[in-house]
Structure 1
Amino acid sequence: MDVELDDLGVEIAGKRLIDHLSLDVRRGEVVALVGPNGSGKSTALRCIYRALRPDRGTVRLAGRDLRALTIRETAQQVAALTQQGGSDFDYTVREIVALGRTPHKRGNAPLTADEELACVRAMEQMDVIDLAGRGVLGLSGGERQRVLIARALVQDPQLLILDEPTNHLDIRHQTELLGRLHDCAPTVVVVLHDLNLAAAACDRIAVLDQGELVTVGAPEEVLTAELLAEVFGVDAAIVPHPLSGHPQILFTLADAAATPSSCRPPESHPSL
């Protein structure tokens, strides 16, 4: 599914969160949105999965204006893992994952045999099958995150939206998830803070800053020392990964001499 953001603008409480944002994501792509905190990444995603209505501009899915689709039609095509995803009720893992089929069901119709199998496969893929009978509120943050991803996969979306999906995940599950993004849905848009993971997992990277698109392109085109200094305010060297050739960022820690005094420990004084 192609996704088009056309001149989006969002203002909340007098603050402009997104301004003239235009971005095309083609079917078959995994595209990362990156940028400093408050740059508009999550706000842009919220416009795509209809949690937020932009003040200006248009979101198109497969060429259709999002506003022309019913909520049900959108839910059948778009699955989203949000930063606030979760449950206040202690449903079992199996029940949470099965909720991914809700947009495709009528009333309280039970899952078909094929849908039950899809739930099992998603739980196996996300390594939570052994937790199927456990209550979700008793899980660790990483386990719960993997359950919610499994629920999104069961939805069988044409477009998968992931907002910081690696939160709470250990290194193994981070690399496994990002390594199979192309298999999760025909099109994936993901917000990531780890630029090295974005470079390894994504076809293109879109850099946002202060609600505007700074640049978009292949990781090796976008991730430059100059851009990191300009947008993120960090000094870094870019080197090719020795195995994959993907750009890898080697960060330089801030000079202690330049650390604001409020961040330094108090000086000790001899007793009087």
Structure 2
Amino acid sequence: MIVYRQHARVLVQGMTGKQGSFWTEKMLACGTNVVAGVNPKRAGERHLGLPVYATAREAMAGTPFDWAVMFIPPAAARDAALDAIEAGARTVVILTEHIPARDVIAIHHAAAGHGTRIIGPNTAGIVTPGDGFVGIMPGHNGNIFQPGEVGVISRSGSLGTLICLNLTRAGIGQSAFLGIGGDPMIGTTTRDALEALDRDEATRAVVMVGEIGGAMEEEAAAYAAGMSKPVVSFIAGRASPPGKKMGHAGAIVSGAFGSYAGKRRALEAAGVAVADTPGEIPHLLRSALGAPRDAAQAVPLHA
């Protein structure tokens, strides 16, 4: 499960901490179905009106959940993720960055064995305007997110926020925002997210925000070539020099591998319109959907 729906029950690991408390309040305020939290030092208490458990396994027994989201420091992330996976979480959203590589490998291995979807590590989370959000994206802010028919995929939370802000200002709502994360070993790839939005009945078109480095955009392009829904893309890092890491751990170019030019060629060959700047995306979307470039309300992209 990649697209969050309000019927899905959410467990917050680390809910009683400063960040966990802040974002849990925001999630609850916009309708996210948060049902419980985890903090072994405060087990048996209630926080923000919700029960707190010592472990995810105890939470599953007392207050069943479908999704888990982790406000957990790097050193403890492996144990927290394994706890949620072994408890039976269908989806685990790992916000934490700088998790040791061996721990990330262990998390993915366990998830594969239990049939758990991992989103992240180093993700900002998932937003479904009108249903809620899971993570640290400003899904509660109506100036940035509005219900609609355009799905957005991004490694970067900040760049994804900018894209959604531009869409909302242009009168284009979003069916979902999928933040896949910036770790080199993420559990959900750009192609995975693209396939999910292709299947999603609420999504009419897709914006794919990529970055230099790796081959995720090229792999997604191969899938996009067979899609009936239009896909528009923006690739960050066009001016970055080869061999220099830019932002995320995976955003590094070695020779021609993972280059901006290579990604753009692959996407355009697949029929994906590629924007030179984020500000061009609303215009490209309207063009792909058969609407005039300057007609803000010509196509009913709000739900």
TM-score, structure 2 as length reference: 0.29
Which structure has the larger Rg over C-alpha atoms?
1
Structure with greater strand percent = 1
Report 1 or 2 for greater relative contact order, CA contacts < 8 Å, sequence distance ≥ 6: 1
TM-score, structure 1 as length reference: 0.31
